[in-house]
Structure 1
């Protein structure tokens, strides 16, 4: 049974409840001296606490999508989803591995509900191989739009989130479809994935010296692979990027560093400087320029202003990035060229519920800035 299985969660909850009842029932028998009685009390208390902790942890993981499997949890993830052939005999930079329906009415028919395709991406320049999910809107399959080229948005999770959470928990495809159906956005293609393209390492969308070239993958390889397979924007202004937490930081950085690729970037609960911790390792290898440019506030005040549009979100209560976001807004406004907008909630934590409140408005904003 998998880490995200409802059965596993149910077993943990029932076990915790059983141990609690057993503790209450057996306590009088164990309320005496002697190593057996003391050991019994310790065992019951420890077992109850462990199962309660496991139940809360499993429930939180199901709600927020931190880890996809036991191997992912323990850092032993092996399923990369892609085999890379560097001899030139591969099937191309993008291969479709399977399809799935979009939740909601008409989801079983692509012409009505759109379609989600699981794909394998292989970076021609970065040599990074990673899975992703591509949402194609209903219009993509309708005869009257057969020659239409669609704008696209890269949608990124946080770290160590799962790509599946983007449609199972945050409902990006369903939201995008409903907004377009109601005329509030234009139909868009969404490329949904983790920013962690070299798991388990958190590369913070940096071209690590001697390591994964993550920024190159997102700025060059990913758009090229999509254009080779789908009717997707081929000119500047047709691509945007949106993400939450780590994905939000990456989205803002990609838009600032590569305005010729990404016309707009949305950072939901983003931070503005790449961290250095055990999950990232040494991202910069002593390169001061690389380290500075990964600090977005440094970048907007020390580099020429980027001709791009940014949207940042925060909340007055519940988000740790509130003050930093206000400073970032002022610094971007001072450039006189880079455009910035914001969503500021009165309250909202760093979680899926907050982002679900922000995503509809963010997708409308993003749609209005893509050609």
Structure 2
């Protein structure tokens, strides 16, 4: 039974009803010695507590897509086959143009929460050594004969931690919100790509390559990116690619876009941060060297010092103390051609999916002005 499916939700509701009715019906009818009666009543109370907590968890998880599968929740899944040292460019001595095409088989998404028309595939990362599901949402123009010779810009969607690859299409309703806006021409058509980012049990990779643990950077910026280009009419230049994330995913989007201006032109960061150590489970934040090197402020400062400020456009939004200051710090360092747009959120409801959901149309309008096919 799927963790996020309707059957599990209905089962949880049914068990809670039983847990409430059971003591009401049997409390005074429990027989036997006094000790046994007490134990039986205690078991009924515990059962009621457990089912109530379970239902609350299911409702919160379904609303926020924190855990996509039982393996994610229980920490029993494995998504890393190898984590060799791939060097500073994350390619292990190879060139992207020399990597053979990786044609995939796609199937309808396994959870209706992501909306209609979404397809998915199980990708084995040939460079990163990471395996995971990738969801693909195609714009309404993709199958229009008038666009048959057109390539489309692409946005990789990154959740927070913990977070499911379904979150942008599920909790944030990105596809559902964007489809009518793209169809009417109010927003440029994009291909949306939602890859797995939760690849290690009980740990946030910080979207970095860590030899011996996981090559999360190469998974997102090489394997997933190349797979999309190989299988869809997707643009293959940096001007056609962007990243968007919230919370821990916002940190990743900013960090990856600044570190790889040869792969991405823009990034959207919603309620994010610069210092990876802000996330207690971040492996990058626990490593003194990686904590510095994966901080977007350090990446930008180093590029500026080398006389190579990246041609990267950043959109950073957040409340005071929840992402806004991170954007201000980046804007203060930005040198042309780097640009940083910062938006202060106030009275929006905190660090929640509802806040990020409401920003989807705005950030995609902004992306439409920066990306080309």
Hey, what's the Cα distance between the residues in 1 that align with 2:132 and 2:69?
A: 17
Tell me the CA shift for residue 189 of structure 1: 1.1
1:68–1:162 CA contact under 8 A, matched in 2? yes
What's the counterpart of residue 318 of structure 1? none
Q: Give 1:131-210 correspondences, 5 Å limit.
A: 131-198=133-200, 201-210=203-212
1:119–1:132 CA contact under 8 A, matched in 2? yes
**Can you give the 5+ residue segments of structure 1 that lack an aligned partner in the other structure?**
83-89, 109-114, 316-321
Tell me the CA shift for residue 192 of structure 1: 1.3
Other structure's SS at 1:323 match: coil
| CA 1:118–1:10: 2 relative to 1, 3 Å | closer
TM-score scaled by structure 1? 0.81
| CA 1:14–1:123: 2 relative to 1, 3 Å | closer
User: Which digits, 9 at most, give the CA deviation of each residue in 1:181-225, with x for residues without a partner?
Assistant: 222221111111222245665312111133322112323333333
1:155–1:192 CA contact under 8 A, matched in 2? yes
Tell me the CA shift for residue 95 of structure 1: 0.5
User: Which digits, 9 at most, give the CA deviation of each residue in 1:58-111, with x for residues without a partner?
Assistant: 221222222223333211126x699xxxxxxx99424022146999xxx98xxx
What's the counterpart of residue 263 of structure 1? 265
| CA 1:356–1:43: 2 relative to 1, 3 Å | same
What's the counterpart of residue 97 of structure 1? 106
Tell me the CA shift for residue 368 of structure 1: 1.3
**Can you give the 5+ residue segments of structure 2 that lack an aligned partner in the other structure?**
82-98
Q: Which residue of the other structure, out of 303, 307, 328, is the alignment partner of 2:311? A: 307
What's the counterpart of residue 87 of structure 1? none
Q: Which has the higher contact order (CA 8 A, sep 6+)?
A: 2
Tell me the CA shift for residue 34 of structure 1: 3.0
Q: Give 1:1-371 correspondences, 5 Å limit.
A: 1-27=1-27, 34-77=34-77, 92-99=101-108, 115-198=117-200, 201-275=203-277, 279-280=281-282, 282-283=283-284, 288=289, 290-301=290-301, 303-304=303-304, 305-315=309-319, 322-323=320-321, 325-337=323-335, 338-343=338-343, 344-371=345-372
User: What is the Cα-based RMSD across aligned positions, in Å?
Assistant: 3.4
Tell me the CA shift for residue 273 of structure 1: 2.3
Other structure's SS at 1:347 match: coil
Other structure's SS at 1:334 match: helix
TM-score scaled by structure 2? 0.80
- Number of aligned residue pairs: give it: 347
2:13–2:55 CA contact under 8 A, matched in 1? yes
Hey, what's the Cα distance between the residues in 1 that align with 2:159 and 2:354?
A: 14
